[in-house]
Amino acid sequence: MSPNGTLDALLVEKRVFRPLPGQAIEANLPPQELEAARKKAQTAPLDIWEEAASELVWYRPWQAVVSAPDGAAFPRWFPGGQTNIVANALDRHVESAHRNTLALIFEYASGENKKFTYFELHREVCRLARAFVSLGAARGDRILIHMPTLPETVIGMLAAARIGAVHCLAPLGFSAKALRRRIEASRARIILTADIGLQGDRMAPIKPVVDEALAGTGETRVETVVVVRRSDQDIPMTEGRDLYYHDILGGGREASPPEPMESDEELFVLHAGSSLSAPRGIVHGHGGYMVGVYRTATWVLDLKPADVIWCTAEPAWITGHSYAVYGPLLAGATTVVVEGNPLAGHGQRLFEIIDRHGVSVLYTSPTLIRMMRRMGAAPGRDRDASTLRLLATAGEPIPPELWVWFHKTMGKGQCPLLDTWWQTETGMILLSPLPASLLAPGSVGRPLPGVSADVVDDAGNPVPPGKGGHLVLNAPWPGMLLTLDGDPEGYRRQYFERIKGVFFTGDMARRDEDGSFWIQGRADDVVQLGGHRLGSAEIEGALASHPALAEAAVIVVPDAMGATAAKAFLVPILDWDLRYDSEEDLVRDVKAHLRRELGTVAEVRFFAVRSCLPKTPSGKISRKALREEA
Ligand code: WT7
C-alpha cells in the first residue's frame, strides 16, 4: 500500500509534460484562445460549434445550431441547413489557392506510391460519381464498399457521398456468410469491390467472396457490382451485374456538382460489433459529423494545409473515416493512406514512409506502439522521422509506461502525444488533451470545449473526483450518430435508458481534481475490489511497467464464490526465460510488482502466460475472445 494508504492515491500518475512554447503558440488553438474557448464552453457551448460550421460552405444556412424536438437521443444539428461534406472536403479547396496541394498520398505495399492533388482527387471523385449516377444510384441509396485499402476505396467513399448516396464499408476478412449479412443489413444496390487484394501479408481473391455472398438464398437489392482490377488474370464476371471500374468511368468533364443534402441526411453507415453477432449499423449524417470532424481535425490534430497526416487506421474503420479521409480533407491537409502492414521490415517501413512524405502528424493506436516497442523500432540516424511534430493515439488505453516510451523515442520528447477518446458512435474525438495543454501520460485530458461529459454512479449521480464510475455524455455533440440503422427505438433504449436521458458510453472512467479524465476500461472489465472499482486499464497500466512483459490484458471473471476477480494474460518479452526459471517464477515476480504498484487491494487472482493475445479485426485486444477462453 502507498504511504497514505489509499488505492486511489496509488493510481494517480504524477508525471506531467509541457508543450514547447513555440509549438503551443503556433497551434490552431493557442493557449489564450484555448482559455477563451473553455470559458465560452461554459456559457455558450453551442457557439463553439456554430463558429466551426461558419468556416465551412453551406448551400442554405441553418435555422438553429441544434434542436431536439424528438428527445435527447435524436438531436438535429444545424436543422434547415443544407451542405455536402464533399463540397467542403474537395470543392472548397479546388476553388481556392491550394488546388494543387496534395490531398492524398497512397502508399502501395510494393513501395510505389500514387499522389493526388485536390484538383486531381476531385476529378477522380467526379468521374466515379457520374458513373454511379449512370448506374442509377441516387440520393439515399446505399453503396456497399468491400475493398482492400486502395485509392479507389477513398474515391468510392467520396463519390458516393457527393451524389448523396450512403456509403457502407465492410472490411475484408469476412466469410461469405458474414458479408451476406452486411449486404442484407445495408440494403445496398451497388457494391464496390476488387478482384484481389492484400489481406494480411498476401494477395487474396476478394470478388469470389462477394459472388458467394450474393449467391445465397433470398433476394438482395444488389443490382451492380463494380470491380477494381488489380490482377491481370480474368475472373468470372456475371453478365448484367458485374462491371469493371475502369469501364464505367467516362472521360467527360461535365460538371457534377455535389448534391445539396439536408444537414441530418445520412452520409454513412458503419457496422459495429463482431462479424458474427447481428451487426449494429451506426448511422452518421452530413452536417453535424462534418462540423465535428472538421473542428477536431483542426483543434486536436492541429491540421493545417501544410500538414501531412498519417492515420494508421484503415479507411474501413471509423478512425479511418474520420481522420484518414474526411478530417484531413476538410482541413485542407495531405493524408497518407497505406496499403498493408505499416511495420513491415521490422518496423523500418514506418520510418521510410514518414521520411519519404514528410509526415508531420502521426495518429495511431496503442497496439501498433506496443508492436513497435517489441520490435525495438525507433528512429535512427538514417531514418530520423524529424518531420513529426504531433503524435496521437486512440482506440484503447495507452499505459503510462508505453506513453512515455513513445513520447521519448518517436517524439524525441518534443512532440505532444495526445491520447484521444471516442467511439464509432461519437464519430469524432470527444475527450483529449490539446496541443497547447499539459499532458499526463495515461489521461485522455478534458472534454473538448463544447463537449459535456461526466462520471456517474449506477443511478446517474455524479461521483466525486478520484472515484470511478460510468462515463456519460450529458449534452449532444455534432458528430453524434443519427440512429442505429432501422432501429431507432433500440438505439434510444440501448444508449439513453441505462442512465436516463444521458448518452451511456459503456466505458468506466474517473476524473481527477483538475477535471482530467482517466479511462478505466469497458464496464464489463471493471473489478469490484472491496467497494473499490478498479478498471482493467489501470491494472494493465501497472503490468506495462514490468520489464519482462511485452503485452498484457486483464479481464474480469467470476470466481468460485460467484464474486468477480481479475485474470491477467501475460505476454513476456523474447528471452524472458533467461531471467526466469519458469512461468511460475515470472508470475511470482509480476505479482510482487503489482503489489508494489497498486497495493494488495488490487490483487489479480488468476494469471495465464501466452505468446500472443487475440486481436479484433481492427487490432484491439479481443476481450471477448479472452473471456470466452476463460
Ligand atoms: C471504444 C470505442 C477511437 C475510435 C475508434 C474505436 C475504447 C477508444 C480510447 C482511449 C481508452 C479507448 C473505449 C471506447 N477507447 N479510445 N483513448 N483510451 N479506451 O472505436 O471501435 O467504437 O471503440 O474504444 O472503450 O468505448 P470503437
Residue nearest to atom 18 of ligand 1 (CA): 397
- Position 629 scores a pLDDT of 84
Q: Is 424 a pocket residue for ligand 1 (Cβ < 6 Å)?
A: yes
Residue nearest to atom 4 of ligand 1 (CA): 423
Q: How is the chain split into domains, by residue range? A: 124-259, 526-629
Distance CA 56, CA 293 (A): 12
- Position 1 scores a pLDDT of 33
Residue 107 Cα to ligand 1 midpoint, Å, equals 26
Distance CA 509, CA 517 (A): 7
Ligand 1 atom index nearest CA of 618: 21
- Position 6 scores a pLDDT of 45
Architecture label for domain 526-629:
2-Layer Sandwich (3.30)
Q: Is 183 a pocket residue for ligand 1 (Cβ < 6 Å)?
A: no
pLDDT in tens, 583-596: 999 999 999 998 88
Q: Is 397 a pocket residue for ligand 1 (Cβ < 6 Å)?
A: yes
Low-confidence ranges of the chain (pLDDT < 50): 1-7, 9, 274-276
End-to-end CA distance of the chain: 29
Q: Is 423 a pocket residue for ligand 1 (Cβ < 6 Å)?
A: yes
**Is this model's pTM higher than 0.95 or not?**
no
Per the DSSP assignment, residues forming a β-bridge with 439 are 17
pLDDT in tens, 408-425: 999 999 999 999 999 999
CA distance to 283, 291, 292, 297, per residue, from 427 (Å): 10, 11, 8, 12
Distance CA 497, CA 486 (A): 19
Output the CA torsion 425→430→432→433 (10° steps): 170
- Exposed (0-12), middle (13-18) or buried (19+): which is 456, by Cβ within 10 Å? middle
Q: Is 608 helix (H, G, I), strand (E, B) or coil?
A: strand
- Position 433 scores a pLDDT of 97
The answer to whether domain 124-259 has CATH 3.40.50.300 is no
CA angle at 434 for the pair 431 and 435, rounded to the nearest 5°: 155
What pairing do the DSSP bridges indicate for beta strands 453-456 and 166-169?
Answer: unpaired
Q: In what order do the strands lie in the sheet with 142-146?
A: 242-244, 224-228, 190-194, 142-146, 166-169, 266-272, 280-285, 483-484
- Position 252 scores a pLDDT of 66
- Position 430 scores a pLDDT of 98
- Position 529 scores a pLDDT of 59
How large is the C-alpha radius of gyration of the chain? 24
DSSP string, 277-336: SPPEEEEEESHHHHHHHHHHHHHTS---TT-EEEE-S-TTSHHHIIIIIIHHHHTT-EEE
Distance CA 257, CA 271 (A): 29
> What's the grid cell of residue 511?
476524473
Q: Is 302 a pocket residue for ligand 1 (Cβ < 6 Å)?
A: no
Q: What is the DSSP letter of 522?
A: E
Q: Is 91 a pocket residue for ligand 1 (Cβ < 6 Å)?
A: no
Residue 236 Cα to ligand 1 midpoint, Å, equals 40
Distance CA 331, CA 486 (A): 32
Residue 192 Cα to ligand 1 midpoint, Å, equals 28
pLDDT in tens, 184-229: 999 999 999 999 999 888 999 999 999 999 997 778 899 999 999 9
Q: Is 505 a pocket residue for ligand 1 (Cβ < 6 Å)?
A: yes
Closest CA to 525 of 486, 563, 567: 567
CA distance to 259, 279, 280, 308, 488, per residue, from 272 (Å): 28, 6, 5, 29, 16
Q: Is 525 a pocket residue for ligand 1 (Cβ < 6 Å)?
A: no
- Position 199 scores a pLDDT of 86
Distance CA 512, CA 524 (A): 22
Query: For a substitution probing ligand 1, which of 507, 615, 618 has the most ligand atoms within 8 Å of its CB?
Result: 507
**Containing H/E element for 569?**
strand 564-572
Alpha helix (H) ranges present in 16-150?
21-26, 31-43, 45-54, 85-86, 92-94, 118-134
Q: Is 538 a pocket residue for ligand 1 (Cβ < 6 Å)?
A: no
- Position 539 scores a pLDDT of 87
**Complex prediction ipTM:** 0.99
